[in-house]
Amino acid sequence: MVRAIPMKSIFRKLQQYREFLQGITRQEKTIKSLQIINIELEITLRCNSKCPQCSRHCNVFSYGPSDMSMDQIHRFIDQVLSSYANFGHINVMGGEPTVHPRLEEIISLLYESLVLRQKVQVLEIATNGILDVPEPILKLPVAIKKSPPCSKQHRCQFIAPRDTGQKMKKCNVPYIYGMALNCYGYFPCGAGGAIIRLFNMKDFIKYELPSTPGDFGDLGKLCSLCQASAENPKMFEIDDCTPSKSFLNAIDKYYFERPKFRFF
């Protein structure tokens, strides 16, 4: 004989299940609000200009070949497609992206794989405008942002706030511009990636798609080296930037050790 289940018990189970689902929804909303929704995709760290204010240290320090391979681009796309997040924009940059020999192929692949599938809203290319963007790319709905190679004043990328005693603020760069990905892996942001490589702070590099800045660990040590985290960043004329103590030590160590990094 089948035992009857009291209706009160059924309603209680249904209520518990509804509360469980509501809890998941709240967790998902919390996770979504913390996610990094933009990505700076540095397809190369090579550049055809020598801007003294370059936050990627292009043409200053080299850690070996830096062009992203198509296998790395495919790996990135697979990680985005399998992630919970949808991204606001991917900014394809460098270095200078137009020096990458497979730029056209990369842009087409990103557009077809991510934009058309609505995983990414905007695909953008940041270029200095010295070289033309290939004509086939201009036929796609891709934003082109041209910035002149040099500016009169800039934040010196080699002065650490911790050396100058500058007051720090909570940095919003990873949330506004997004994390960075290049041939060496994911970094909290592009400028932070250059500092991480120069100071050989490999623990900050990730190889799976992070969802929040917290996935990179405590960023206090990194941010204390970056003028973007200073409450009142120091501005300098183009050739008027002497590295502070922390950078002088890191630069000496770089030339002595020549650090290498594994690839993404």
Does this model's pTM top 0.75? My answer is yes
Indicate the domain borders of the chain: 37-151+173-213
Q: What is the DSSP string of 25-41?
A: HHHHHHHHHHS--EEEE
Is 85 in a helix, a strand, or coil?
A: coil
What are the pLDDT digits (tens) for 58-112? Answer: 888 888 899 999 999 999 999 999 988 889 999 999 999 999 999 999 999 999 9
Interval 222-239: pLDDT, tens: 999 998 888 887 776 656
Residue 254 pLDDT grade (very low, low, confident, very high; cuts 50, 70, 90): very high
Kindly report the CATH class assigned to 37-151+173-213. Answer: alpha beta
Helix-helix angle 190-198:245-257, to 10 degrees: 60
Percent of the chain with pLDDT over 70: 82
Q: E strands within 105-197?
A: 120-127, 143-146, 153-155, 179-182, 185-187
CA-CA-CA-CA torsion sign (197, 145, 51, 236): negative
Question: What is the predicted pLDDT for the residue at 154?
Answer: 66
Of 104 and 168, more confident:
104
